């Protein structure tokens, strides 16, 4: 059964969503991320994807107090990303309550650092963030493209101990136009042992059902929940 992971994206301590990662497209949905997280927990959800968008832009963890409040105020298992660029950022994230962190841009810019983290903490706690634009990895809050091809990037990190990837098709994120089904299926078929978390484009419950039917391990849902296109009660069939 696919794991449901709601997303909370943070700018200035508020719960927001972007379209295609563009900061000037931000829309504020709630002033209190803790209350949003509690609503998810009350619906039976156990996992949360928390993104520090200020951190992604400034290249250091910024909204760690939001993480601390949600971790202290709920029982949710939180994976945290955005701005994690150093051992100090990693320490702050774990000490503030993250169960896992997502290594995105740093996995491109400082691969040896991420290898060290994998050796120290294991693939259960270090998730590989693979943000994709035209099958190339995008970094720094999607503001910059790299020359790394997606499948080679994944293969390299699987060899280093990565067990789970959050893969986001940048062109679809926040657009409510459907996920990149074919891309996720290709990743899953190529790397059978890799847990694939689909992110971006989910717009209706049918998208979740199709991802589940195709064997995708987990799905991150953001704007579709906030815009009321997917009701939390619709997700109960996927919750253990």
**Hey, which residues are catalytic here?**
9, 131
Residue-wise DSSP of the chain: -PEEEEEEEEETTEEEEEETTEEEEEEEEES-HHHHHHHHHHTT--EEEEEEHHHHHHTS---HHHHHHHHHH---EEEEESS--SHHHHHHHHHTT-SEEEE-HHHHH-HHHHHHHHHHH-TTTEEEEEEEETTEEEETTTTEEEEEEHHHHHHHHHHTT--EEEEEETTTTTS-S---HHHHHHHHHH-TTSEEEEES---SHHHHHHHHHTT--EEEE-HHHHTTSS-GGGGGGG--
CA 207 – CA 203 distance, rounded (Å):
7
CA 212 – CA 215 distance, rounded (Å):
5
Tokens 């009350």 sit at which residue?
A: 42
Query: The tokens of 156 are what?
Result: 């390299």
């Amino acid at each position: 059964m696919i794991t449901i992971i709601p997303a909370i994206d943070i700018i200035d301590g508020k719960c927001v969503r972007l379209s295609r990662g563009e900061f000037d497209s931000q829309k504020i949905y709630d002033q209190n991320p803790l209350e949003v997280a509690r609503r998810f927990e009350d619906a039976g959800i156990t996992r949360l994807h928390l993104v520090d968008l200020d951190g992604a832009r400034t290249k250091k963890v910024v909204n760690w107090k939001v993480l601390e409040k949600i971790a202290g105020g709920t029982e949710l298992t939180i994976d945290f990303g955005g701005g994690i660029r150093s051992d100090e950022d990693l320490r702050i994230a774990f000490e503030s309550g993250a169960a896992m962190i997502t290594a995105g841009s740093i996995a491109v810019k400082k691969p040896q650092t991420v290898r060290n983290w994998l050796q120290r903490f294991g693939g259960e706690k270090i998730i590989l963030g693979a943000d994709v634009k035209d099958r190339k990895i995008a970094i720094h809050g999607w503001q910059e493209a790299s020359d790394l091809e997606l499948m080679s990037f994944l293969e390299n990190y699987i060899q280093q101990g990565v067990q789970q990837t959050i893969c986001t098709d940048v062109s679809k994120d926040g657009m409510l136009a459907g996920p990149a089904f074919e891309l996720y299926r290709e990743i899953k078929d190529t790397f059978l042992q890799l847990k694939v978390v689909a992110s971006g484009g989910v717009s209706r419950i049918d998208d979740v059902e199709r991802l589940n039917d195709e064997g995708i391990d987990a799905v991150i849902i953001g704007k579709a929940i906030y815009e009321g296109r997917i009701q939390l009660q619709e997700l109960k069939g996927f919750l253990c």
